[in-house]
Amino acid sequence: MAAFPAILQSEWTKIRSVRSTVWTLALTFVVTLGLGALLSLLTNKNFAEFTRGETGPFDATRTAFSGIMLGELAIIVFGVLAIGNEYSSGMIRVSLAAVPQRGTLLVGKSVVLGALALAVSLVTAFVTFFVGQSLLGDHSTTIGAQHVLRAVVGAALYLTLLCLFSAGVTAMLHNQTLALGILVPFFFLLSPILSAVPKVKTLAHWFPDYAGSRMLLVYEQNDQPYGPWAGFGICLLWTLAALAGGALVLKKRDA
């Protein structure tokens, strides 16, 4: 049986040796920061127009994270590629030969993926927040304001959970193309469409992307079904279910 630290070292080596996974992590940072900075600047320049019709307080933190949707796409691709590359290349057979304990192998992968995604997501969240606030001028907030730090950390946790959820789905499907073909439409087509349909939008409120978006809220809204902590719990449950499903499939199905 391979020692767990050796498994972690092996998984770390695999991830950093594949350029596509490194670039998708870098892209998570760039697109989240870039689009958030651009929209923060535009909001500052056109504040009256952009906030016309708003009934609640202006959420400067949420404005800074306006680009997080593109960051979600990049982190989803990272989670898929980090697991799927081994299946597409056939290297999963070598990994299973070295670590026959399949559940332990997936745990090792998840730990490395989660740690790396969390580190990048924390840097992304804090840099995006501070750059966004600097561009919002008089309409900005501070990290010490009520609930702001929780929202910034929530953004990082959301991206991390989304990465692990995508990894779990890919482990279940054993195919990165199929995983992307399901995850991208689910998050960027199905979920937004259902959220806009009155008769079924309640169902969409329990999807991981909607739950995760609650984690970024500084001001809780009366028309929302639940708040940030419930959103974190729902998103966490989706992630654990995906990883458990991936572990079950890995144990029962040939590589």
Q: What is the pLDDT of residue 107?
A: 86
- Mean pLDDT, the chain, integer: 88
Do 11 and 112 contact (CB within 8 A), yes or no? yes
pLDDT digits (tens, 9 = 90+) for 81-137: 988 888 777 777 777 777 777 777 888 889 999 999 999 999 999 999 999 999 999
What's the CA gap between 169 and 178, in Å, rounded?
10
Domain boundaries defined on the chain: 4-252
What letters, b where the CB count within 10 A reaches 16 and e where it falls short, cover 109-121?
bbbbbbebbbebb
Q: What is the pLDDT of residue 205?
A: 87
Percent of the chain with pLDDT strictly greater than 70:
96
What's the CA gap between 20 and 7, in Å, rounded?
21
pLDDT at 174 > cutoff 80? yes
Would you place residue 203 in the very low, low, confident or very high pLDDT band (cuts 50, 70, 90)? confident
Would you place residue 2 in the very low, low, confident or very high pLDDT band (cuts 50, 70, 90)? low
What letters, b where the CB count within 10 A reaches 16 and e where it falls short, cover 131-151?
bbbebbeebbbeeeeeebbbb
What's the CA gap between 184 and 166, in Å, rounded?
10
What's the CA gap between 168 and 159, in Å, rounded?
14
**Greatest extent of the chain over all pairs of C-alpha atoms, in Å:** 64
pLDDT at 56 > cutoff 60? yes
Classify the C-alpha dihedral 206-208-209-212 as positive or negative.
Answer: positive
Would you place residue 54 in the very low, low, confident or very high pLDDT band (cuts 50, 70, 90)? confident
Q: Comparing 223 with 28, which gets the higher pLDDT?
A: 28
